[in-house]
Structure 1
Amino acid sequence: MAHPWIAERTFAFDSSGIRKVFDLAAKMEDPINLSIGQPDFPVPDEVKQACIDAIQADKNGYALTQGMPVLRDKLQARVDAEYGHADRRVFVSSG
């Protein structure tokens, strides 16, 4: 026992699932970290400007829970162009 005030059973605890994912990502070449919305690269200027434009147009509230049709349609068009399979359907969720 390392510390008398730490219960012995705690030494048998396994790491969390997300910790395992982080450990796996550390072994990958150039992974994109999307955990808690923090990519490890700078935000492109056009994305920054789009955010500013949306805020100034009072469009900074929550999106529809069922998804925004314009977003789903654009994403689906991109998936269709890339994969060309009818079984590839886009699903957008929050969180």
Structure 2
Amino acid sequence: TLYRTLKTFEEKGLVHQIDDGTNISKFALCEPGCNCEIDQDLHLHFHCGNCDKTVCLTEHKIPHINLPQGYVAEDANLVIKGICDSCSQH
């Protein structure tokens, strides 16, 4: 199925899943050298409330967060919500 294919691509590091709070599975192609691990290459995403588009902001990294002892991070996600550059020009 398409879902299994996307999951395989995700496991191989070709795409990463974006959780933008819309309850719709979205995937983006990984850039060369991307290693979407929690301590390696997590970046911001932007979700436009006008056109409903979500984009990767790969040049803006999520900073490492030191958790209290005993806590183990398995995933991190930071989505900025607002109006994208295309919509804000209209």
TM-score category of the 2 structures, normalised to the smaller one: under 0.3
Tell me which structure has the larger Cα radius of gyration.
1
Q: Which fold has the larger relative contact order, with Cα–Cα distance below 8 Å and residues 6 or more apart in sequence?
A: 2
Q: TM-score, normalised by structure 1?
A: 0.22
Task: Identify, as 1 or 2, the structure richer in strand.
Answer: 2
